[in-house]
Chain A
Amino acid sequence: MINRKTLKVAVGVALTLAAFGCNNDKLTAINQNPNNPEAVPPGPLFTDAARVGVARWFGNAYDLRTTEWISQQLSEIQYMDEDRYVRVHASDTEGTFNGAYNSELKDLTQIINSEEANNDPGAYGPALALRTWGFSYLTNSWGDIPYFNALKGDSVGSTLAPAYDKQDAIYADFFAVLDKAAKDLGGASNTLGTADPIYGGSPAKWQKFANSLRARLALQLINVNPTLAATQLTAAINGPGGLILTNADNAQITYPGDGVYNNPWADALGARDDWRVSNRLTDLMNANSDPRLAIYAQPTTAGTYQGSPNGVSVTKAATLFGVTSRPGTIFYKGKTSYGPTFGGAGARLPTFILSAAEMNFILAEAAQRGIAGLNAGQAAGYYNAGITASLQQWSAVAPTAAQQISAAQIAAYLAQPGVAYKGGTAGLVQIAEQKWIALFTDGGQAWADWRRTCRPATVVAGADATLNEVPRRLEYSTTETTVNAESVAAAVANQGTDVLTTRVYWDKSPTAAPTYVTGCGVKNGT
């Protein structure tokens, strides 16, 4: 019969294996992720969130595939799909919408949650301000969006299908958050330091950022709720720390230009020869011999600055390919994959997030409107300061000495009849157009201001555009319409059909704005 000893050995082997099998703790420990941690300090989160968030609104799909063509600062020259509004629909823009939430806004929320608990305003203050800045692009582009219940994952009491909040409620909270951020940053210690690529962690500068963003957002409501706009502008101007009024305080990210982290425009423009500056931009700037033209655009072979019209047919665009101005060499990092070599410093070009120029134009407009404690007499001063700040801002990054703008040039520019401040409604038009020029590269904000002011009036749907007018918002993400359908339906019920021409809460027309023109943005057949 069976050799007992052998049987013992066999059973022993089986039991030993079994013993391994039942050691549950050891098994579970194997599943401890060796690649990624479960907790990290706020610094590296902030660096990533700031970089990703800025790139999202300046240079990625939102800017160079959508709003640069809607704001019409650039035009397409080979594939006209975005410019003709063919590829600015839900499936084209959903990456921006989804990505903003599941990348930088989520990471900033992690910082806010942990550092509020740690009572460290030096970390959560900048995170609150930057998160609000990101949310403002979202709501300005889509209107009602998930806000109060967003970014909570599947934590207890939250839902995986957050509700959409009304834009006016979101704006109200923006003001409250920015108020808190500016106040809490007062006396805060610099805990982020170099981990903050925008201000090096400076609480004082983040205060200015919070107030300036508050001013920008306040003015956005001027048509729909002038009272609130005035109140919030007043609060922003008087906020602790003040506003960004000199270029030294500009919020900007400087890229290392190391090939991995380049200015996003430099990466995009060097890869494909698909873009030109718009003739809306060159026409406006040529009219006043704007010295920034040499920086914004490259001359054509004829030696002139000639933009290309927006939204024309592919056949028409092909005829313009060789005779229109590319964006300035400043936006190129050197050799391009399609041939020419341009400039070389574009990889390190800073992205301007919030500038002194814009703030001065905001104050000029407030003054002209006589709100926030300012009067019309002050408008010219702020207007000139805004233009000066913009010229100096771009001059500082001009690739060649010849393109730099001297004080004399600035004075000459300001003295031109088309530039010299006219006051009244004409002044508001001048402010709006100068701000639009100054906001070059910030397609999202240029679009937001254009919807509010309808200036420049030359911004109209292109001849071959698939819409009759310039889009007023973007369509909700297709992921949202499938996995968060009920919330989207409620938002649509509040806001209007989910199409490009529906207007968001603050975009009402006709408006109280004296700059408003009838038929704003509508195709005029040219």
Chain B
Amino acid sequence: MNTDSRLMRLAAAAMLLSVVPAVAAAQVTMSGRVTAESGAPLSNASVSIPELRLGAQTNAEGRYNFTVPASSATGQNVTVTVRRLGYLVTSVQARLTGNQVITDFKLTPVAAELAGVVITGLGVEREKSTLGTAQQELSSRQLNQTKTQNIINSIQGKVSGVTITGSGTQGGSNRILLRGANSISGNNSPLFIVDGVPASNDSRGTTQGGGWDYGSAISDINPEDIASMTVLKGPNAAALYGSRAANGVILLTTKKGSASGGRMRTEISSTYTWDHPSILSTYQNLYGQGSGGQFQYIDGSGGGNQDNNDQSFGPRLDGRDHGCTFIPKTQTYDMSVPCTQFTSPTVGAPWIAHPDNVESFFNTGHTVSNTIAMSGGTDRVNARISFGSDQVAGYIPNNTFHKTNGALNATVRVTNKLSADASLQYARNTGQNRPGVGYTQSITESFIWFGRQVDLAALKAGYFNGLTAAANNGPGGREYNWNYSFHNNPYWIQYSNPFFDARDRFIGSVSANYNIMQGLVATLHTGSDIYRFNIDQRYAPGDVRQGTIVDAKYYGGFRFINDYNNESGTDGSLKLNRDLGSHLKLNALMGAATRRPNFNTTTTQTGGLTVPDIYNVSNAAIPPTLSQQIQRRRTDSFYGSAAVTINNWWTVEGTARNDWSSTLPSQNNSYFYPSVNTSIVLTDAVPSLRGSILTFAKVRGSVAQVGSDADPYLLRTTYTGLSTKFNGLPQFTLGDILANGDLKPEITHSTEFGLELGMLDSRLTFDGSYYDKYTRNQIFNAPVSSTTGFSTKSINAGKITNKGIDFLLGVTPVQREDFTWNASFNYGHNKSNLAELAPGVSTLLLGSLFSARVEARLDRPYGALMGNNWARDSVTGKLMTSGGLPYAATTAKNHYFGTVQPDWTGGLSNTLTYKGLRLYGLLDFHRGGKIASITNMWGTFTGVLASTITGRDQDWDKPGIVVDGIDKNTGKPNTINVDAETYYQCRAYNCGQVIEDWIYDASYTKLREMTLSFDVPRSFASRLNLSAITIGLTGRNLKTWTKVPNIDPEFSYQTGNVQGIESMVLPNAKGWGLNVRITQ
């Protein structure tokens, strides 16, 4: 919090400094520059002082200049207004004093704009009407409607054709896909570019089953520093970025300073949010811990009857303090046996429910975010400096996050011909005690394998009062807990096992532009994305979570991970932008680039310490396991593009690139990929089309190809060494993957058509695309018979096709002087098919968890959800039963349940503006696709979910359940009654591991964002020497509508290619916030 108060003081000082004394004068020259939020100049904008009927248009560089005669300039305040097609009308107050008033404008695009200058590939600024490819821009305002820690969350529901899924934890990672997955087993994430520098979005997410989610690296960027985001959706738009752009590109342009006549402009944004867990499972509170109606605590590790059982098929929670043991013979409870519990191990205690025992574990999370930015400049030099700070106290106890950001952007016009830009983003992003996720390490897991009578308050008090296992006859060396065989006290996990992670990062670049002549600029650009990421996991003795590294014999353990990433790149280019005669415009580019990623990671781990509490390599009792991986690669490229615009309505563009990659064999390491696109503005080509209804119409089309290289070191089979010595002896083993010295580049092809329409004076806009793309020659490790000595071989094979449409529809139903209603709807539908796989291979397992498998299966959409289904009667469709229980049709786990990919995704936003009041809401849609829920599966198995009461409404085994099925032996309806425990455990797992019951339609609709904001009247603001104050009430993830019970289907247990399996996800945050934005 110290940082915050310092920032505030700094802000106050900045404000005082920037008060410019008023000077009386005569004639006043009004000048300045109008740019888009990206900093791109806007020509043909009209700047005026309506009350004086004075004004001018901006030139190609976005500059305007007009004079207010002395007679009109009396030192009064006036309103300067800018209007431009495709942007919101913007006004500022100016005082007509001095000789010169410099006012710069940054315009916010309207929701679905069709015109205006946009940033496209390689930072080239283009009129949107000349683009032949699909792209969508988001302004700073659109991104920052509500506060998120990760800029990817800020896009949710706002861009068509984008699918985003997460692991659900606060600070966790997410997966973003543009128009479906292209690669079978490779990276399908789009390429992120920050001010021309490829920025890593690597995540150290979770592994199969569980672990800790360390977030996505792109979350280091402070969303408040982003001026605009451009999403280049297909490979078509991205051919110029090379290989990694095959999955699309997300261009982030940071905010820059602007000429302000030396006056400093200060912006402060402060947000406070309250977060709550959104979706919690619905639990039953009728039956407590145990099995077969029995439970008796003796030592929590098997000493009593069902003592260490972690299921809730025990006695009824009716307040009894004796009789927790059921005698099958007499069908009665043995009243002589006390109902001992972990809180009362010797004397019977009331056997009652604690209905809040999951919910009460979670806190209210708090987030304090502050950003202060100062900018200003003259004609020659301008700069913007910003500081950001996020302090997050998560809703999981003892889990916090801190992020500190600093950014500097500067432009210097050294001479009239030479200018230089520098951009630097600094971030320190830390997390403390992130909760485990997935099955094996998750807190949620211990609430599913749980006794419903467990008093969480007692566990909490026990932990904080320093009680140990001795207090309830538990085993020595363990914390106070309810079960010692399989679980740790959740408070002990969060407080006694300190985990810490920190990423220190710089993304910086410097570029020089030399104006060789009018319209011809040479640019040299160099930059790096550098980070160091440390993960420090400390395990206390007594950790028994599945997959724990701790060896019970010693005193805890640790795992330290150090990543170093440095991706540097340099490119030189020539840009030509000029009119060739009055009908022809040429926008051309050629350049060369080199990219040199370098990644280095080391892990140091031991499961045993000599002395407790000293988590240092020197204290390792078990020799630490050390591992190290170095990855170096390089790509050199030549690229070029040329766009010719004829008569301002027909544009034809071609791009070409050749890469030389270090990761491919020398005979295949040079690959060329071209693209061509065109756009025709129909309403300009045939002016008669234009009328009061149709104001703008454009068609576009493109064909592109992108080549991709391999991961490093796939060309030769090598031996793997082990850092640990066996009796002092070194060990090596020959690698498991057969290398392939003949790898070729992967090739993605894409064809795309688009239609853009503006109707009713652009109050109705449409921007839609149809695309058809495929990736062939995919590089992946195809399984081979292990009897060859190797489990996979690196090959080029396989083909995934993706076809789909996406569109953005903008409507302004009401547009009055004081009141505007804007609505925007986006939609994306993608259909994928795995058309080819390796020879002789019909499926590739992407991942599996318990009975659910996600596969890349031939002739199925990518991400096929597979598993066992129930055997059914062919006539009635009813379940077949055997001994009263259903059974699996086969045990091959190869029944296809559907794809994990949605049918369509979309977003609907509405903005109502009345004077300074603004109400905004965003609904996020996800329709179709399947999800397998492991939470529901085990929650049914263990009997903790409310849905497991049927069949034991009277007593633990009464009335029981008669499955509505056909008996296998008699061929007649089943009449056998089974008890609830047997029944639910059968359905969940025991009867052939059938996943069918746990597969759901993953559709959901979310009220993703809601904002009510208020612009404080300018008259009041100017009294404080401020130009604008906006106060907002924001809400995020406020409501979810879904048919999936107990979980939020938005989240998967990991964020790689294995999607559609949910496992004990933590409930995601539902947050309310207050935001104040001050501009001076």
Binding site for B on A (CB under 8 A): 1-3, 6-7, 9-10, 13-14, 17-18, 20-22, 24-25, 27-28, 30-31, 33-40, 43-45, 47-49, 51-52, 89, 91, 97-99, 101-103, 105-107, 109-110, 145-146, 150-154, 158-162, 194-195, 197, 254, 256, 258-261, 270-271, 273, 315, 318, 321-322, 333-341, 344, 347, 477, 479-480, 482-484, 487
The smallest beta-carbon distance between A142 and chain B, in angstroms, is 11
Q: Identify 17 residue pairs between A and B in the complex whose beta-carbon atoms are under 8 Å apart, listed by A's number.
A: A3-B516, A7-B516, A10-B572, A14-B590, A14-B591, A21-B660, A45-B719, A101-B789, A105-B789, A107-B732, A154-B788, A154-B790, A160-B784, A197-B727, A256-B726, A260-B724, A340-B475
Query: Is B475 touching A258 in the complex (CB atoms < 8 A)?
Result: no
List residues 719-755 of chain B with CB under 8 A from any CB of chain A.
Answer: 719-722, 724, 726-736, 738
Q: Choose one: B299, B666, B784; the contact of A483 (CB below 8 Å).
A: B784
CB-defined contacts of A48 to chain B, threshold 8 Å: 722, 726, 731-733
Residues 660-694 of chain B: 1 if any A CB is under 8 Å from the residue's CB, otherwise 0? 11110110010000000000000000000000000
Known: A27-B669, A259-B621, A479-B791. 15 other contacts (CB 8 A): A6-B514, A14-B574, A17-B592, A20-B594, A36-B720, A37-B732, A48-B733, A101-B789, A102-B791, A152-B789, A260-B724, A270-B551, A338-B308, A340-B475, A479-B783
CB-defined contacts of A256 to chain B, threshold 8 Å: 726-727
CB-defined contacts of B561 to chain A, threshold 8 Å: none
Known: A31-B713, A145-B787, A477-B786. A333 touches B553 (CB 8 A): yes
Most chain B CB inside 10 Å of its own CB: which residue of A39, A97, A107, A160? A160
Q: Does B544 contact A (CB under 8 A)?
A: yes
Query: Is A335 touching B477 in the complex (CB atoms < 8 A)?
Result: yes
Q: Choose one: A49, A52, A153, A318; the contact of B738 (CB below 8 Å).
A: A153
How many angstroms from the CA of A340 to the CA of B477 in the assembled complex?
10
CB-defined contacts of B93 to chain A, threshold 8 Å: none
The smallest beta-carbon distance between A21 and chain B, in angstroms, is 3
Query: Is B666 touching A39 in the complex (CB atoms < 8 A)?
Result: no
Q: Does B623 contact A (CB under 8 A)?
A: yes
Q: Does B198 contact A (CB under 8 A)?
A: no
How many angstroms from the CA of A110 to the CA of B720 in the assembled complex?
14
How many angstroms from the CA of A14 to the CA of B891 in the assembled complex?
62
Query: Is B622 touching A258 in the complex (CB atoms < 8 A)?
Result: yes
Query: Is A33 touching B718 in the complex (CB atoms < 8 A)?
Result: yes
Residues 460-484 of chain B: 1 if any A CB is under 8 Å from the residue's CB, otherwise 0? 0000000000000011111000001
CB-defined contacts of B633 to chain A, threshold 8 Å: 30-31
Query: Is B484 touching A338 in the complex (CB atoms < 8 A)?
Result: yes
Query: Is A150 touching B787 in the complex (CB atoms < 8 A)?
Result: yes
Query: Is B522 touching A6 in the complex (CB atoms < 8 A)?
Result: yes
Query: Is A102 touching B514 in the complex (CB atoms < 8 A)?
Result: no
Query: Is A98 touching B786 in the complex (CB atoms < 8 A)?
Result: yes
Q: Choose one: B475, B514, B570, B638; the contact of A339 (CB below 8 Å).
A: B475
Query: Is B516 touching A339 in the complex (CB atoms < 8 A)?
Result: no
Query: Is A482 touching B787 in the complex (CB atoms < 8 A)?
Result: no
Query: Is B738 touching A154 in the complex (CB atoms < 8 A)?
Result: yes
Specify the chain A residue showing the minimal Cβ separation from B710. A31
Q: Does B1077 contact A (CB under 8 A)?
A: no
Query: Is A35 touching B727 in the complex (CB atoms < 8 A)?
Result: no
Query: Is A17 touching B552 in the complex (CB atoms < 8 A)?
Result: no
8 nearest interchain CB pairs? A259-B622, A339-B475, A21-B636, A106-B789, A98-B786, A17-B592, A36-B718, A48-B731
List residues 548-565 of chain B with CB under 8 A from any CB of chain A.
Answer: 548, 550-554
The smallest beta-carbon distance between B625 and chain A, in angstroms, is 7
Q: Choose one: B551, B623, B722, B785; the contact of A479 (CB below 8 Å).
A: B785
How many angstroms from the CA of A2 to the CA of B732 in the assembled complex?
62
Interface 9-mer from B58-66, B836-844, B1005-1013: B836-844
Known: A3-B517, A14-B572, A260-B625. A31 touches B663 (CB 8 A): yes
CB-defined contacts of A254 to chain B, threshold 8 Å: 727
Q: Choose one: B550, B553, B720, B730; the contact of A47 (CB below 8 Å).
A: B730
Known: A13-B572, A14-B592, A151-B787. A1 touches B517 (CB 8 A): yes
The smallest beta-carbon distance between A74 and chain B, in angstroms, is 17
How many angstroms from the CA of A1 to the CA of B305 in the assembled complex?
95
Query: Is B630 touching A34 in the complex (CB atoms < 8 A)?
Result: yes
Q: Does B520 contact A (CB under 8 A)?
A: yes
How many angstroms from the CA of A103 to the CA of B718 in the assembled complex?
13
The smallest beta-carbon distance between B308 and chain A, in angstroms, is 8
Specify the chain B residue showing the minimal Cβ separation from A481. B892
Query: Is A36 touching B551 in the complex (CB atoms < 8 A)?
Result: no
How many angstroms from the CA of A388 to the CA of B661 in the assembled complex?
68
The smallest beta-carbon distance between A204 and chain B, in angstroms, is 21
List residues 633-648 of chain B with CB under 8 A from any CB of chain A.
Answer: 633-634, 636-638
A-B contacts, CB under 8 A, total: 275
Q: Does B629 contact A (CB under 8 A)?
A: yes
How many angstroms from the CA of A239 to the CA of B787 in the assembled complex?
31
Q: Choose one: A3, A258, A318, A487; the contact of B291 (CB below 8 Å).
A: A318
Specify the chain A residue showing the minimal Cβ separation from B515. A6
Q: Choose one: B638, B787, B793, B891; the contact of A18 (CB below 8 Å).
A: B638
Q: Does B53 contact A (CB under 8 A)?
A: no
Q: Does B46 contact A (CB under 8 A)?
A: no
Query: Is A162 touching B788 in the complex (CB atoms < 8 A)?
Result: yes
CB-defined contacts of B301 to chain A, threshold 8 Å: 273, 338-339
Query: Is A17 touching B593 in the complex (CB atoms < 8 A)?
Result: yes
How many angstroms from the CA of A44 to the CA of B786 in the assembled complex?
22
How many angstroms from the CA of A22 to the CA of B475 in the assembled complex?
67
Q: Choose one: A21, A25, A38, A43; the contact of B716 (CB below 8 Å).
A: A38
CB-defined contacts of B475 to chain A, threshold 8 Å: 338-340
The smallest beta-carbon distance between A453 and chain B, in angstroms, is 30
Known: A44-B731, A333-B553. A102 touches B786 (CB 8 A): yes
Q: Does B804 contact A (CB under 8 A)?
A: no
How many angstroms from the CA of A186 to the CA of B724 in the assembled complex?
34
Known: A6-B522, A145-B787, A337-B552. A18 touches B592 (CB 8 A): yes
Query: Is A35 touching B630 in the complex (CB atoms < 8 A)?
Result: yes
Query: Is B788 touching A153 in the complex (CB atoms < 8 A)?
Result: yes
Query: Is B721 touching A36 in the complex (CB atoms < 8 A)?
Result: yes
Query: Is B553 touching A109 in the complex (CB atoms < 8 A)?
Result: no
Known: A40-B732, A44-B730. A24 touches B788 (CB 8 A): no
CB-defined contacts of A10 to chain B, threshold 8 Å: 514, 516, 522, 572, 574
List residues 699-718 of chain B with CB under 8 A from any CB of chain A.
Answer: 712-713, 715-718
Query: Is A259 touching B790 in the complex (CB atoms < 8 A)?
Result: no
The smallest beta-carbon distance between A28 and chain B, in angstroms, is 5
How many angstroms from the CA of A105 to the CA of B733 in the assembled complex?
10
Query: Is B729 touching A44 in the complex (CB atoms < 8 A)?
Result: yes
Q: Does B344 contact A (CB under 8 A)?
A: no
How many angstroms from the CA of A324 to the CA of B563 in the assembled complex?
49
How many angstroms from the CA of A273 to the CA of B299 in the assembled complex?
14
Specify the chain A residue showing the minimal Cβ separation from B477. A335
Known: A107-B734, A258-B622. A27 touches B788 (CB 8 A): no
Q: Does B302 contact A (CB under 8 A)?
A: yes
Q: Choose one: A36, A51, A158; the contact of B788 (CB below 8 Å).
A: A158
The smallest beta-carbon distance between A302 and chain B, in angstroms, is 15
CB-defined contacts of B485 to chain A, threshold 8 Å: 273, 338-339
CB-defined contacts of B637 to chain A, threshold 8 Å: 21
Known: A47-B731, A339-B299. A261 touches B726 (CB 8 A): yes
The smallest beta-carbon distance between A505 and chain B, in angstroms, is 18
Q: Choose one: B303, B669, B733; the contact of A107 (CB below 8 Å).
A: B733
List residues 512-528 of chain B with CB under 8 A from any CB of chain A.
Answer: 514, 516-517, 520, 522, 524
Q: Does B815 contact A (CB under 8 A)?
A: no
How many angstroms from the CA of A2 to the CA of B727 in the assembled complex?
73
The smallest beta-carbon distance between B727 and chain A, in angstroms, is 5
CB-defined contacts of B886 to chain A, threshold 8 Å: none
CB-defined contacts of B524 to chain A, threshold 8 Å: 13
Specify the chain A residue showing the minimal Cβ separation from B596. A30
How many angstroms from the CA of A97 to the CA of B787 in the assembled complex?
9
Query: Is B787 touching A484 in the complex (CB atoms < 8 A)?
Result: yes
Specify the chain B residue showing the minimal Cβ separation from A332. B553
Q: Does B172 contact A (CB under 8 A)?
A: no
